[in-house]
């Protein structure tokens, strides 16, 4: 009915004057983005079949888009900022500013060829047939080799299943993303050269009128990132052993030391990287610390 279509259209639009932020509409990056936004206290509800969600308590609309289109939308000013892969930003060749590396979705864009061909030098592929979902980055990479060798590399775009191209005889090599390398090895391919290192990034349109809101969101996301990387260690220790404990585990900046009712003991709080947590707890135990607790953080402002 017309009424239903109108209410769906309204639900799928952004209130006037609200800032718009694009995030990938599906996949692993969508899940991680939702987790980060939730951790940063950015609350929203995405209705079924809707690609827009208005946030609670902030003049912010989330727009769910294909990851490969986000840099273009941000560059053209249709949305103010967004989260996508750095590879997409570079491939889109649009004018955006990178605001924050998010430390997730890390992988590499690589030139890959069949193991059986025993190619070790990417220059040997100049003038040959390359299949990729990243034609601009691939052209930029092979233009340099073509110039040196006087060749013209053929670059063909496909939107997915790039790794099958060599086996089907459609290409001499492919340029594709490699995370763990499982898909690549299963297709009988190996990395010949790295084109680009990539991860998820927060980007903004340089002309955005919502710089203040962006700063607030940036602080929240950075705070959440710190909270996922660190734990708070709290322990009690004899005053005589305090210096030794502090040099073994100085924390992120410096320890917070609190007096206890017993003048011979102190309570100490430090931030420790999650990777070092067990090691530091063992060290403090061996020095003579007691009641050692590791506490997870929900968010932070540093």
Q: What is the pLDDT of residues 44-53, one digit of tens each?
A: 999 888 899 9
Asked whether the predicted pLDDT for residue 65 surpasses 90, the reply is yes
Name the band, by pLDDT with cuts 50, 70 and 90, for residue 4. Answer: very low
Name the band, by pLDDT with cuts 50, 70 and 90, for residue 153. Answer: very high
Give the closest residue to 302 by CA, choosing from 218, 228, 219: 219
Q: What is the pLDDT of residue 13?
A: 76
Q: What is the pLDDT of residue 243?
A: 94
Rounded Cα distance, 139 and 120, in Å: 20
Q: What is the pLDDT of residue 8?
A: 47
pTM of the model: 0.83
Which of these ranges, 9-13, 141-145, 231-235, 260-264, has the smallest mean pLDDT?
9-13
Q: What is the pLDDT of residue 2?
A: 52
Alpha-carbon distances, residue 220 vs 81, 161, 199, 283 (angstroms): 15, 37, 19, 33
Q: What is the pLDDT of residue 57?
A: 93
Arithmetic mean of pLDDT, 219-232: 93
Asked whether the predicted pLDDT for residue 106 surpasses 60, the reply is yes
Calculate helix-pair angle for 211-229, 28-39, nearest 10 degrees: 100
Mean pLDDT over each residue of the chain, to the nearest integer: 92
Q: What is the pLDDT of residue 7?
A: 52
């Amino acid at each position: 009915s017309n009424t239903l279509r109108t209410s769906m259209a309204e639900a799928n639009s952004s209130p006037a004057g609200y800032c718009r932020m694009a995030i990938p509409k599906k996949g692993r990056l969508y899940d991680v983005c939702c987790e980060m936004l939730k951790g940063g206290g950015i609350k929203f509800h995405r209705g079924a079949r809707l690609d827009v969600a208005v946030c609670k308590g902030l003049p912010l609309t989330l727009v769910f888009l294909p990851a490969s289109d986000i840099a273009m939308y941000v560059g053209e000013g249709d949305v103010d900022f967004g989260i996508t892969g750095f590879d997409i930003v570079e491939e889109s060749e649009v004018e955006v500013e990178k605001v924050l590396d998010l430390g997730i979705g890390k992988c590499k864009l690589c030139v890959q060829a069949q193991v059986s061909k025993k190619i070790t030098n990417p220059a040997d592929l100049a003038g040959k047939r390359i299949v990729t979902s990243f034609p601009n980055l691939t052209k930029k990479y092979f233009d340099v080799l073509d110039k040196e060798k006087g060749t013209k590399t053929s670059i063909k775009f496909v939107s997915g299943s790039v790794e099958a191209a060599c086996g089907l005889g459609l290409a001499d090599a492919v340029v594709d993303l490699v995370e763990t390398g499982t898909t690549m090895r299963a297709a009988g391919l190996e990395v010949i050269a790295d084109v680009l290192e990539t991860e998820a990034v927060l980007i903004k349109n340089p002309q955005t009128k919502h710089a203040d809101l962006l700063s607030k969101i940036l602080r929240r996301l950075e705070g959440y990132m710190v909270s996922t990387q660190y734990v708070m260690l709290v322990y009690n220790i004899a005053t005589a052993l305090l210096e030794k404990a502090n040099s073994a585990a100085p924390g992120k900046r410096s320890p917070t030391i609190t007096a206890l009712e017993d003048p011979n003991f102190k309570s100490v709080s430090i931030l420790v990287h999650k990777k070092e947590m067990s090691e530091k707890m063992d060290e403090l135990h061996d020095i003579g610390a007691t009641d050692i607790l590791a506490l997870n953080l929900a968010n932070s402002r540093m």
